[in-house]
Chain A
Amino acid sequence: MSALPHLTDCGLQGVKAVPYGIHMCHFYEQREDLAAALVPYFVAGLRNEERCVWITAEPLDARAAKAELARAGLNVEALERKGSLIIRDASDWFAAIDRLDGAKARIMDLWLDEERRALDAGYNGLRVTGNTAFVNPADWAAFMEYEEYAEEAFASQRIIALCSYLLDRRAGADVLDVVRRHSCTLDRPDADGWQVLGYDRYGLSHRLAAVVGQAFRHSDLPTLLSSR
């Protein structure tokens, strides 16, 4: 699979590789769940020479995120100085966006500008994550529109995105709202590793076939995404 240039290592145990342009989500309940997903995700991104941008929110703010990465053996300060790693709190990153409603194009411009700068600087791509805990319930519909927009806009870019959502087990429609607006969902059913769910919901295999070309076989996708 390494011969396929449009794929990159996801970093999560159980998920072999993912295509650039993928817009994934996962649900967490506690701070530990967030760290368990995002630390290996960024370790892989840095190893793959991608610029990594982590937009944080409670319960794992920028300071705590840096501490988690340092615990994994990364020299966070040096990586930040070099520009490989950017860790910012959501309130800071989105400071220019006063209202989510109607701002999806402006938010997307932030990401696309960042991708362009990363590619210009010689990185292989942009790896991002955002914890959506900062989204006010009143802004839910507007934020879902932004996610819908991101799903389309990222598809043709050298960006891989993983959005973190706090799981409300009593809000099934919210879960559906989220998974319907992402290429797939990463789930960690047990300590053995991760699995990719819902990847065939909206034609991820067809999109992947379009970027990878003839080397891709639709039947390969389940094997590619998961080794569980």
Chain B
Amino acid sequence: MQKPTTSWRKLLSEPGENGHIVQLYQDDDFYGEAISHFAAEGLARGESIILVATLPHWENISGRLRGKGLDTEQLFRDGQLTLLDADETLPKFMAGNLPDGRIFKPLAKQTIAKARANGKFRRVRWWGEMVNCLYVEGNAAGSNRLEQFFDEVAHEENIAIFCSFLMDKYDPKIYDEAFGNVCSTHSHVIPADDYAQHRMTVNRAVAEVVGEIKGPLLQSLISWKDAPSLMPSSQALLLWVRAHLPNYFEPVLARARELEREPARRKAS
């Protein structure tokens, strides 16, 4: 049975043998905290960690790793932490706008083999943002193709992979294609930093825009076959609204965005 998730921290601590998890983020704190948590938890379990980051983002991540008491320089020397520059690595396997799997997959497998250090580290986990770099550049096809290659590598090499996407979960446009691609290539989606807050926000937005969920609508929700990958129920509810009440979908997203901003506004004032 597939398992829904109640906490992204728990999920990133134990991502499973070949779990392929994606985080949708918009702020640097959530971004850096999730990646450093994924890496620190792997290190604590004696796993080898591969991070493929742009330089500015490495500063965010490494600062947080140091904040967790980890000596990154020592980890590099021990071979337990591998850092690759995303901007330097990406061009090595791109053929025009698309990644070439014949170059990428051997390169990825070579990196994983090196991280295993001749069996010193049995498990490897990988976080990278090359797919996001392509997505942010507007190369959706290249981004999706590279993600498919990563998913294949995760299964072939039995490693957990974590990705971060700069994506606005309340932007209706992402649901036309990008979010579907994300769901089809990942086992788990982390849509928000605070799951409890996201649940309250989406519940309220749906209640205000759609009204009460009762009768045939309730039966439709209960009978729904569920989201294509695992995600909190609040995010799955948005997909249900899109599938069953398409005319309400954009107003629900817009209201959810307003509601999410309210606490931030109150804090600011």
A173 contacts B234, C-beta separation under 8 Å:
yes
Q: Is B240 an interface residue, CB under 8 A from the partner?
A: yes
Interface size for A (C-beta < 8 A) is 31
Q: Is B177 an interface residue, CB under 8 A from the partner?
A: no
Q: Is B223 an interface residue, CB under 8 A from the partner?
A: yes
A171 contacts B203, C-beta separation under 8 Å:
yes
Partner among B199, B212, B214 whose Cβ is within 8 Å of the Cβ of A174: B199
Partner among B1, B214, B223 whose Cβ is within 8 Å of the Cβ of A152: B1
A198 contacts B222, C-beta separation under 8 Å:
yes
Q: How far is the CB of B233 from chain A (nearest CB, A)?
A: 4
A172 contacts B221, C-beta separation under 8 Å:
yes
B222 contacts A179, C-beta separation under 8 Å:
yes
Instruction: Give CA–CA (A185, B218) in the complex, Å.
Output: 11
B1 contacts A185, C-beta separation under 8 Å:
no
B213 contacts A169, C-beta separation under 8 Å:
yes
CB contacts (< 8 Å) of B7 on chain A: these are 141
Q: Is B219 an interface residue, CB under 8 A from the partner?
A: yes
Instruction: Give CA–CA (A27, B196) in the complex, Å.
Output: 21
Partner among A174, A187, A200, A202 whose Cβ is within 8 Å of the Cβ of B222: A187
CB contacts (< 8 Å) of A174 on chain B: these are 199, 203, 233
Q: How far is the CB of A192 from chain B (nearest CB, A)?
A: 14
Q: Is B21 an interface residue, CB under 8 A from the partner?
A: no
Partner among A173, A181, A200 whose Cβ is within 8 Å of the Cβ of B202: A173
Query: Which A residues, 182 to 208, have Cβ-Cβ distances below 8 Å to chain B?
Result: 185, 187, 189, 197-198, 200-203
CB contacts (< 8 Å) of B224 on chain A: these are 176, 198, 201
| Among A38-46, A77-85, A143-151, A218-226, the stretch in contact with B | A143-151
| Nearest-CB residue, chain B, relative to A182 | B222
Instruction: Give CA–CA (A145, B10) in the complex, Å.
Output: 11
CB contacts (< 8 Å) of A185 on chain B: these are 222
| Nearest-CB residue, chain B, relative to A183 | B1
Q: How far is the CB of B134 from chain A (nearest CB, A)?
A: 32
A187 contacts B237, C-beta separation under 8 Å:
no
Instruction: Give CA–CA (A181, B226) in the complex, Å.
Output: 12
CB contacts (< 8 Å) of B102 on chain A: these are none
Q: Is A180 an interface residue, CB under 8 A from the partner?
A: yes
B1 contacts A151, C-beta separation under 8 Å:
yes
Q: Is A175 an interface residue, CB under 8 A from the partner?
A: yes
Instruction: Give CA–CA (A74, B240) in the complex, Å.
Output: 43
Instruction: Give CA–CA (A22, B215) in the complex, Å.
Output: 25
Q: Is A170 an interface residue, CB under 8 A from the partner?
A: yes
Instruction: Give CA–CA (A98, B203) in the complex, Å.
Output: 29
Q: Is B207 an interface residue, CB under 8 A from the partner?
A: yes
B4 contacts A175, C-beta separation under 8 Å:
no
CB contacts (< 8 Å) of A172 on chain B: these are 202-203, 206-207, 213, 221, 237, 240
Instruction: Give CA–CA (A152, B3) in the complex, Å.
Output: 10
Given A141-B6, A169-B213, A202-B1, CB of A176 within 8 Å of CB of B225: no
Instruction: Give CA–CA (A77, B184) in the complex, Å.
Output: 56
Given A197-B222, A201-B225, CB of A181 within 8 Å of CB of B207: no
A172-B202, A176-B233, A189-B215 given; name 7 further pairs at CB < 8 Å.
A27-B218, A144-B4, A167-B218, A169-B218, A170-B213, A173-B237, A203-B1
Pairs A–B under 8 Å by Cβ, sample size 20: A27-B218, A141-B7, A145-B6, A148-B6, A169-B212, A169-B214, A171-B207, A172-B221, A173-B202, A173-B203, A175-B221, A176-B224, A176-B236, A177-B4, A180-B226, A187-B218, A197-B222, A197-B223, A198-B223, A203-B1
Residues of B within 8 A of A (CB): 1-4, 6-7, 195-196, 199, 202-204, 206-207, 212-215, 218-219, 221-226, 232-234, 236-237, 240
Residues of A within 8 A of B (CB): 27, 140-142, 144-145, 148, 151-152, 167, 169-177, 179-181, 185, 187, 189, 197-198, 200-203
Return the 5 tightest CB-CB contacts between A and B, nearest first.
A169-B212, A170-B207, A176-B233, A173-B234, A177-B233
